[in-house]
Chains A and B, each alone.
Chain A
Amino acid sequence: MTESTEPTSSTVDGDVLVDVQGLEVHFPIKGGLVLDRTIGHVLAVDGVSLRVTRGETYGLVGESGCGKSTLGRAMLRLVEPTGGRVVFDGTDLSALRGESLRRMRRRMQMVFQDPLSSLDPRQSVESILVEGMRAHGLDRDRAATATRLRELLSSVGLPASALRKYPHEFSGGQRQRIGIARALTVRPDLIIADEPVSALDVSVQAQVINLMADLQQEFGLTYLVIAHDLAVVRHISDRVGVMYLGGLVEEAGSEALYADPLHPYTRALLSAVPVPDPAVEDRRERILLAGDLPSPAAPPPGCRFHTRCPWRQPERCDTERPELREVLPGQRVACHYAEDIRAGRIQPHEVRPELVEAGATGPLDTSAAGPASVTEILGGP
């Protein structure tokens, strides 16, 4: 790995496909009885910078409400960013309008969590798959399209007879395969997969994970995988970014992140994931976080995590928001005391849970509905 002095690119070599710079998505909170006034903002994504290299799988993890789905959508401009920019293969997406943006979208596709609600129940599989090709002028020759569709279906492991069927005739895993095939029809460079396997049973989940790995090899795809399941993300990703309350708190190679997590939140998150092995479970030490996620409408000052952090230090953590900085080669952490915590110079202490007003978070309090996303509630897919 080549070391460069640029602050955000030390682990990334030249071939950057997506360069996200200080991206912000702030949703207005409307209020007032008669006048529709903006009374505040939900800081769903608040200054995220990351780079995705061509051909790699970048995993984005975090709990519900951390802004990971919004970040993924903002990268494709499916939600309009309120600040920062996204440079896709040398082109600044925020400068594109109308037709040029539409044409650029061919190269970036999305796979959604719930395959049933993201497929039109009244369209046959063939019509679902051809739609995108037609929109991008890839459906010129009938015979060629038919061959292409059959090839695609066989690469995602479905029989050609599936073309004439409708989404309800398939199982969850098969539907997700259709969703993936749809993304592939337009020969994209980047696929953003938002919770691609979390709606599936474990035995089927593994099939789809393997399929995605095969397709990456076959078509030279770049993935950005958004997921809340840390074990899945570790398995498929080359690099992983951990989000908390709208910001990246840690970013590292998959192996390094899981072997030596530096940010207190990453540590707590990893220690909370159950491992299907009683021998390991009995020995593990859990870092139990107190309390809930604070509201992104009124994020705590200073470090976003300080209200729940067992390693919190007086003064600095409460007032100064830590920058994402490189602590180990290739490992960026947003924590003032990452080195001290790693060396054991700061010991964890008891945290009293602070009250979190769930009512105040309003639409963001989606924790009961599982890994939902801000955008689904605010704007729809």
Chain B
Amino acid sequence: MSSLALLDVRDLTVTFHRKGARPFTAVDGVSFDVEPGRTVGLVGESGCGKSVTSLAIMGLLPRRGATVGGSVTFEGTDLLTLSASAMRERRGRDLGMVFQDPLSSLNPVVSIGLQVSEVLERHRGLPRKKAMVEAADLLDKVGIPDPRRRLSEYPHQLSGGMRQRALIAMALACRPRLLIADEPTTALDVTIQAQILALLAELVRDTGTALILITHDLGVVAGLCDEVNVLYAGRVVERAERHALFARPRHPYTNGLLASIPRLDGARGERLRPVRGSVNDNIPWRSGCAFAPRCPNALDVCRLVTPEMVADGPGGLLRCHNPVVHTEEVTA
């Protein structure tokens, strides 16, 4: 499996240190791999470590105050061992990233054209004029109307959706083999979200770029990801192919999340079944399963022994002592 992988994340651990406070492990032994042309989702609620995972992969965490352990192997090179300058070389060329808030990720005083062409000048060594022409092509490709005029405009002159497209154009400028999109549509309206998701799906299909999609929205995952990792309190609690995950969620947390979302096509008036408590309830924990205090399936063993990641179903992984049993499985 890992021989095919473009990116192989093994036992990634990120610990934050603060003076006078106990070290906090935001990401705890996360492993997954991404193959070219595949979309892998990292899903979870606030504080589950999904964004820290992506920052660690991109080498964007501060050098001081954060310890990163494990390995992030990209085409045979462990990115965590690279120097800051070598990593800078990789970012933008091999690895692209799209952030949640396009306004704060764009420089407000530099024109869109310059921001996109800068990437091309820096990594592909194109002269300014050529880079500008290519930048216009890129903007056109991501669906920005009248790209030539947009080149000389500034971020505040673009709408939210257009800004996100510009950001995607920048991330794609050097045809990276891996694109990380961290909540790419969370700040956008649904109709614009649909446009951006369609654009991302098209890019993966046409260029064979691998995509890591980080989101809290299970609906977005259902439409776009091939494989889904559900994170809770810094750990992957369940991994499955998307059809399996949504049809037969095995971890009580995944199950609880799905049951608590009102669905557009579900029965109306039915009461939602929320996960009790909130994420804060389990931090800090010393032993056992982090989800145990909120889990309807919790046993005594859950509070004492940390569950290991075990294979579950075809291609699935699960970290749970007492998973949800689906009746059709029992009879089958």
Chain A positions within 8 Å of B, measured between CB atoms, are 63-64, 171-174, 201-207, 209-210, 213, 228, 230-232, 234-236, 254-255, 258, 268-281, 286, 288-289, 291-293, 352-359, 361, 365-371
Residues 96 to 122 of chain B near chain A (Cβ within 8 Å): 101-103
A-B contact pairs, 26 of them (CB 8 A): A201-B45, A204-B274, A206-B273, A210-B271, A231-B261, A231-B263, A234-B268, A235-B262, A268-B191, A270-B264, A272-B194, A273-B264, A274-B193, A274-B220, A274-B222, A275-B263, A276-B221, A276-B246, A277-B246, A288-B195, A292-B161, A353-B143, A355-B146, A356-B159, A368-B187, A368-B188
Kindly provide the distance from the CB of A57 to the nearest chain B CB, expressed in whole angstroms: 11
Say whether B156 contacts A359, CB under 8 Å.
yes
**A258 and B222: CB pair below 8 A?**
no
Taking a contact as CB atoms under 8 Å apart, the answer to whether B263 and A276 are in contact is yes
Rounded to whole angstroms, the CA-CA distance of A361 and B162 in the bound complex is: 14
Task: Give residues of chain B (238-264) contacting chain A, Cβ–Cβ below 8 Å.
Answer: 242-243, 246-247, 256-264
User: What CA separation (Å) do A210 and B276 show in the bound complex?
Assistant: 12
Identify the closest chain B residue to A265 (Cβ). Answer: B191
Whether the pair A277, B222 counts as a contact (CB closer than 8 A) is yes
* Interface stretch (choices B28-36, B130-138, B211-219): B211-219
Establish whether residues B262 and A272, one from each chain, have CB atoms under 8 Å apart when the complex forms.
Answer: no
B145 at the interface (CB under 8 A from A): yes
CB neighbours of B145 from chain A (8 A):
291, 352-355
| Residue in contact with B272 in the complex, picked from A209, A268, A367, CB distance below 8 Å | A209
A286 with B257: in contact, given A202-B216, A203-B275, A277-B263 (CB under 8 Å)?
no
Residues of A within 8 A of B262 (CB): 206, 209, 231-232, 234-236
- What are the residues of chain B within 8 A of A269 when measuring CB–CB? 190-191
Please indicate which of the listed interface residues A206, A209, A273, A369 has the most CB atoms of chain B within 10 Å of its own CB.
A206
CA A289 to CA B143, docked complex, whole Å: 12
Q: Do most interface residues of chain A lie in helix, strand or loop, or is the interface mixed?
A: helix
Given contacts A203-B260, A286-B194, A292-B161, whether A358 and B156 have CB atoms under 8 Å apart is yes
Interface residues of B in 260-307 (CB under 8 A from A): 260-265, 268-269, 271-276, 278-280
Residues of B with C-beta under 8 A to A359: 156-157
Interface size, chain B (Cβ < 8 Å): 61
Question: Once the chains bind, are A278 and B242 in contact (CB under 8 Å)?
Answer: yes
B residues less than 8 Å from A232 (CB atoms): 262
Q: Which residues of B contact A235 (CB under 8 A)?
A: 262, 268-269, 272
Rounded to whole angstroms, the CA-CA distance of A206 and B256 in the bound complex is 10
Chain A to chain B: the 8 pairs with minimum beta-carbon distance, closest first: A274-B219, A367-B160, A206-B274, A235-B262, A206-B260, A203-B275, A272-B194, A63-B189
Q: Give 1 or 0 for each of B83-102: 1 = CB within 8 Å of chain A CB.
A: 00000000000000000011
Q: Does B68 contact A (CB under 8 A)?
A: no
Q: Could you tell me which B residues sit within 8 Å of A by CB distance?
A: 45-46, 101-103, 143, 145-146, 156-163, 186-195, 197-198, 216-223, 242-243, 246-247, 256-265, 268-269, 271-276, 278-280
Q: Are A358 and B157 in contact (CB under 8 A)?
A: yes
Q: A274-B222, A367-B159, A367-B160 are in contact. List 8 more A-B contacts (CB 8 A).
A: A171-B278, A201-B279, A203-B275, A206-B273, A275-B264, A281-B219, A359-B157, A370-B186
Q: How far is the CA of A241 from the CA of B165 in the complex (A)?
A: 30
CB pair B162 A358 closer than 8 Å? yes
Report the Cα distance A278→B258, complex, angstroms.
Answer: 13
Query: A258 contacts B264, CB within 8 Å?
Result: yes
Cα distance A290–B58 in the bound complex, in angstroms = 33
> B103: which of A171, A172, A271, A368 is its contact (CB, 8 Å)?
A368
Question: Which residue on B lies nearest to A295, using beta carbons?
Answer: B159
Chain A proximity of B9: nearest CB distance (Å):
24
Contact A272-B221, Cβ < 8 Å, known A206-B260, A278-B242: no
A275 lies within 8 A of B191 (CB): no
| B247 proximity list for chain A (CB < 8 A) | 279
Chain A residues, Cβ within 8 Å of B256: 203
**Contact between A358 and B158 (Cβ–Cβ < 8 Å)?**
yes
Task: Tell me the nearest residue of chain A to B198, going by C-beta.
Answer: A288
| Cβ distance B213 to chain A, nearest Cβ, rounded Å | 12
Residues on A with beta carbons closer than 8 Å to the beta carbon of B46: 201
User: In the docked arrangement, what's the CA distance between A359 and B269, Å?
Assistant: 42
Q: Complex formed: what's the CA distance from A286 to B223 in Å?
A: 11
State whether A370 and B187 are in contact (beta carbons under 8 Å apart), knowing that A235-B272, A254-B268, A276-B263 are contacts in the complex.
yes
- Contact across chains for A289 and B191 when beta carbons are under 8 A apart: yes
CB neighbours (8 Å) of B273 from chain A are 206
Interface contact B257-A203, CB-CB below 8 Å? yes
Residues from chain A with Cβ under 8 Å of B246 in the complex = 276-279
Cβ-defined contact, B162 with A292, below 8 A: yes
Contacts of B198 in A (CB 8 A): 286, 288
Which residues of chain A are within 8 angstroms of B194 by Cβ–Cβ distance? 271-272, 286, 288-289
Are B264 and A234 in contact (CB-based, < 8 A)? Answer: yes
Residues from chain A with Cβ under 8 Å of B268 in the complex = 234-235, 254-255
Residues of A within 8 A of B102 (CB): 368
- Choose from B103, B221, B222, B257 the contact partner of A202 (Cβ within 8 Å): B257
